[in-house]
Chains A and B, each alone.
Chain A
Amino acid sequence: MNRILSKSQNIENSTNKRHRKEKRFKSLCLGAVIVAILFLIILLSSLAYKGLSGFTKTTIQIPIYFNEEIIDPENTRDIAVINKASFRKIFKQSLLQKFPEAKDNRKMYRNISKIFSRGSTYLLKKMVLDDISLIGKTINVDLISSSTIDQLRKNNINIKVPESDRPVSDATLKIYDQLNTEGVIKKRLNFSFFKYGDSRNPEEAGILGALLGSMFTLIITLLLSFPIGVLTAIYLEEFAPKNKFTYFIEININNLAAVPSIVFGLLGLAIFLNFFGLPRSVPLTGGLVLTLMTLPTVIISSRASLKAVPPTIREAALGLGASKLQAVFNHVVPSAAPGMFTGTIIGMARALGETAPLLLMGMVAFIVEVPTSIFDPATVLPAQIYLWADSPERGFVEKTSAAIIVLVLFLIIMNSLAIWLRRKFEVRW
């Protein structure tokens, strides 16, 4: 009796132990999921935290006197004359008017001019070229601040450390405070971020060039990979005889899907650039390489969606007297089209985020001009991110994060489009 009792006691004990183990294991698994999601949240929020301020800029309003004697002394109002005029002098004169104490103090003047973006003189010139009637007038102009001041306003610079350890000197800081109390320092949305190409000065750098480069590259990729991929998928799924050769093609495609992307870059470098002599750094060659990279994705997803179309559709079409090609192209392919589009969009999204092969194709150069065609040297969005991430200036950190936000936004849009397409048009047979 006693032995039986102790046995059941034992069993109960071990059952409890087993159940506790069960609970521990479950929470361990749950913990893994939570950790993974936590990583995602940390990644995205650190980017948002760093990047959102990249969409604003700092401007400083000061009165600028467009001195006629400097710009156009002979009153010709000729564009060539204005183009040649020294707007640096205009800028200096106006600054000295605002800060008369810097007149004979070169060091102080340098500190003051460091507050403004190095592109300020170009801005003044552009203003006059746009509106000639400004000559001879004094107006308040919102000049873009230098990146350091921008960072200062965004509290990214610790001013408590000793002067030698921070990018702003005490003198500049004093001027900044003075301007701040005057209320001329303002925060604005940085539209020029979307309007200009790359620049060495963080406050002037924009992503338009990279965006257009990405667009041109993706257009090439789409135009090539979609038709080739879909035709391949149709052939392999519907027409190809089941022999060793077809099997070989299939194995090839599956392997290509898993080849590291940098190998495609090596291929492009050796074949497109070296052998065929195509130009470097242009969207055309970049798009060709990305095509080779996305083809397997397009083929595999297109095949999957063709496979999902039930054979009854084919048989009904054939039974009504359609030829094999008519059955496939008029009936099977339209039903499989949403799946094909989805696969293509996902492939395109991956191509948009791809950097490594394009580095080897030279699409990572410092290019200020905004590309206008597929033959212009260009860089792409991820390559621009890579370039900026390598720049030492503090101002480029938030630019990089801002560019990443733009890139991720595009990826979200493309992927949601793919999901929407699938939900909306997918037929469950």
Chain B
Amino acid sequence: MNTTLLTILIISLSIFAFYYAVYKIKSAQSLNTKHRPLHSYYGWYCLFWTIFPALLFFCLWTFCSSIWIDKTIINIITLSINEEGATNISLQLNAIKNAANGILTDQVPKEILSNYISLNQKSEFIRFIATLGIAIIGLFFLIRKINPDLRARNKIESILMVLMFIASFIAIIVTLGIVLSLLFETLKFFSDVSPFEFFFGTTWSPQIALREDQVAASGSFGAIPVFTGTLLITIIAMCVAIPIGLLAAIYLAEYASQRTRTIVKPLLEILAGIPTVVYGFFAALTVGPFIRNIGETFGLSIASESALAAGLVMGIMIIPFISSLSDDVISAVPNSLREGSYGLGATKYETIILVIFPAALPGIIGSILLATSRAIGETMIVVMAAGLTAKLTANPLESVTTVTVQIVTLLIGDHEFDSSKTMAAFALGLTLFIITLILNVIALKVVLKYREKYE
């Protein structure tokens, strides 16, 4: 309510700022004939200085005051804990926050709750007044400054340049954020579990024991079975996707008429556009049982969460990644090569196999690498259709687990951030990130190098 009113007020203030600035510059301009500035820039300039400082203050205040309130409350709680004995402080804080939202009000001390609520109300009140005040000050300050000698356009342009620069910086910040957050947690993990055990150990059972005497009480973090499981499913997927995708690409690039191409290509790309959760559902409910039933008729016992089902469906999903890119690469092979081959009397098949395919090979390998990285990082299909227990096996009929499945199962639901169980997920995530990064970099390099050769 408070924020809604504030938003409405600020927006109306900024609209007023815009039109008033335009009005003012128009009337000032009629007195001064030397400059003929563009009016709207003044409006935008005024609007920017009305909104921007106020918005900045709003965000900063919200962030800082919430931290400050948390600290104050924690202080109060620690004081009261001395009387009641040790309790988890952050848990208490959460309980108070929930209570302030009307959940389980009776489980927290009344005084602290009312203290929290009143602090919050004060902070919100100050925020409301100050934000509005800053907006009004900005507005008046700017309106006074407006005259034809003010180079509003130049100012707006430099503001825009700064905004654009900041925006393009975000991509770097994100990459940095990924690397740092993964690295930080992984290093913490490796101080608990040695990297040697993680990369070369062969038992993966990250569950932390509830009782002291439970089997595998400490949890063991040998990730080899997880990696081999990922590898197995990826290989199955590529066995499906590479032949189908490549042959389809050859058909589309070399044999199909223009009309078939315009129909078939988008149809194949639909396969890439279907959400992976849909594939997961399909794999778990249709393909998995289907494969198991087939196995039963041959007297084979196949796990219902077999690697085969997950890999097969993942392969279907990957087809368009290979076919689309390979199609582009094959089409980019210069026609002179084809014509030269036909001129020597080769059939189309011979031309494709002996001339076009070698010429397009680097690009095709690039597309396969990209598709592989997609398969390794794919999550939902394996989460829904592959198993949870890590088994060191190369049998596609058994159930295996993958890196992404383990990340999800370790991190889903509530968890503390300092157990080695959650940090193991980050170590897996870092491994995944690095592997896919290497694959992508190689693939992009190969594709780019190849393109330069013919252009």
Contact = CB atoms under 8 A, between A and B. Distances in A.
Interface of A: 18-19, 21-22, 25-26, 28-33, 35-37, 39-40, 43, 46-47, 227-229, 231-232, 234-236, 239-240, 248-249, 252-256, 258-267, 269-271, 274-277, 292, 295-296, 299, 323, 325-326, 329, 349-350, 352-356, 359-360, 362, 364, 382-383, 385-386, 389-390, 397, 400-401, 404, 407-408, 411, 415
23 contacts: A25-B349, A32-B245, A33-B268, A37-B268, A40-B268, A231-B163, A235-B164, A249-B171, A249-B172, A252-B171, A253-B171, A255-B440, A258-B436, A260-B436, A262-B432, A263-B178, A263-B432, A265-B411, A266-B426, A266-B429, A325-B157, A353-B275, A355-B276
A25 B351 CA distance: 12
Contacts of A22: 347-350
B412 A235 contact: no
Contacts of A352: 275
Interface stretch (B105-113, B246-254, B298-306, B391-399): B246-254
A33 B254 CA distance: 13
Interface string B261-293: 000100110110111111111101110000000
A389 B279 CA distance: 12
Interface string B325-339: 000000000000000
Given A356-B380, A411-B273, A235 B165 contact: yes
A35 B244 contact: yes
Interface stretch (B128-136, B197-205, B370-378): B370-378
Contacts of B267: 37, 40
A385 B380 CA distance: 11
Interface in B43-64: 63
Contact of A258 (B254, B255, B373): B373
Given A33-B252, A262-B407, A386-B277, A255 B379 contact: no
Nearest to B275: A353
Given A296-B171, A353-B275, A263 B164 contact: no
Interface of B: 63, 66, 153, 157, 160-161, 163-165, 167-172, 174-175, 177-178, 181-182, 184-185, 243-248, 250-252, 254-256, 264, 267-268, 270-271, 273-282, 284-286, 316, 319, 323, 347-350, 352, 370, 373-374, 376-380, 383-384, 404, 407-408, 411-413, 417, 425-426, 429, 432-433, 436-437, 440-441, 444
Contact of A274 (B172, B316, B404, B417): B417
Contacts of B277: 353, 355, 382-383, 385-386, 389, 404
Given A228-B170, A262-B404, A266-B182, 8 more contacts: A29-B251, A39-B316, A260-B374, A260-B433, A264-B178, A267-B178, A355-B379, A356-B404
Contact of B172 (A35, A252, A277, A296): A252
Contacts of B319: 36, 39
A256 B377 CA distance: 13
Contact of A356 (B270, B274, B352, B379): B379
A110 B182 CA distance: 55
Nearest to B158: A325
B280 A389 contact: yes
Closest 5 CB pairs of A and B: A260-B377, A353-B275, A32-B247, A29-B251, A270-B181
